[in-house]
Amino acid sequence: MTNTYIIKPVDYRELHSFRIDSEAEAKEIQHRLAGMVSCQDEVGPVELVAGVDISPISPGKGRGAVVVLHYPSMELVEVTVVETEVVFPYIPGLLAFRELQPVLAACRSLSVTPHLFFVDGQGLAHPRRMGLASHLGLFLNRPTIGCAKSRLTGYHAAAGNPMGSTTPLKDCDEVIGSVVRTRESSAVVYVSIGHKVDLPAAVRWVLAGCRGYRQPEPLRLAHLAASGRLSPHKPTLKFANHL
């Protein structure tokens, strides 16, 4: 099946400078942005879903990748891979300040605008409720979901073994995410709100995006692209006069 897609490049708003002088300044930015995150389900009709991943390629450089798929067929639509300079140091809890620029560069290279982004990282399941998924969602002003392979903060009971089993991820008495079994007998993933989605919807979308692997298909392919194992790909396009 070959679809023709309307040219509609991704745009974003730069909510802060990336010239950050200290860890304290970065944390202050996170606290400020956390109050801007929407936890309401604003995901409308979805035709295009995207997966986002980042890979270090050398000291001071990172490779951001975005893979766009048609939903629900999961037909490959577009793959963009961009290498950029990375200047912020590696500090747990502040990784978005290293990883956001390569991701945004890859997003800006897209020809189409996805309706929903899956991010290989945390959203609200973060000590300051501002992981990469939330950071990216605010910059793009698009619905985003965090789907991480490891836990950054919080605690949880064991999830059941069948696919689709879930258990809350909590920090004190606050539910900050959901622990989800996406494949029977496989390791769990940690799903959290990024932006413009609620937690039940985020879990549904993650499970709907799985095609027999632990990660949703957009993230599985984004990981391949970021690691250099999936080549850039452009869609069949038609020009749109009104974007």
Provide the pLDDT confidence category of residue 2 given band limits of 50, 70 and 90: low
Angle formed by the axes of helices 132-140 and 96-108, to 10°?
40
Q: Topology of 5-11+24-227 in CATH?
A: archaeoglobus fulgidus dsm 4304 fold (3.30.2170)
218-242: average pLDDT = 86
Q: Which residues pair with 51 in a beta bridge?
A: 67, 118
State how far the alpha carbon of 187 is from the alpha carbons of 2, 148, 163, 182, in Å.
Answer: 34, 11, 11, 8
Provide the pLDDT confidence category of residue 241 given band limits of 50, 70 and 90: very low
State how far the alpha carbon of 79 is from the alpha carbons of 22, 65, 148, 223, in Å.
Answer: 34, 7, 21, 11
Reported pTM: 0.94
User: Domain spans of the chain?
Assistant: 5-11+24-227
Angle at 54 between CA 134 and CA 180, to 5 degrees: 55
pLDDT of the residue at 7? 82
pLDDT of the residue at 58? 80
Question: Above 60 in pLDDT, residue 78?
Answer: yes
What amino acid is encoded at 194 in this protein? Answer: G
Q: Which residues pair with 195 in a beta bridge?
A: 144
User: Tell me: the pLDDT tens digits for 109-164?
Assistant: 999 999 999 999 999 999 999 999 999 999 999 999 999 999 999 999 999 999 99
Angle formed by the axes of helices 23-34 and 132-140, to 10°?
60
Instruction: Between 21 and 149, name the one with better pLDDT.
Output: 149
Cα separation of 182 and 163, whole Å?
5
Q: Is 84 exposed, middle or buried (0-12, 13-18, 19+ CB in 10 A)?
A: middle
State how far the alpha carbon of 183 is from the alpha carbons of 14, 19, 160, 175, in Å.
Answer: 37, 41, 11, 23
For residues 146 and 194, is the Cβ–Cβ distance under 8 A? yes
Instruction: Between 188 and 243, name the one with better pLDDT.
Output: 188
pLDDT of the residue at 243? 38
Classify residue 113 by its DSSP letter. -
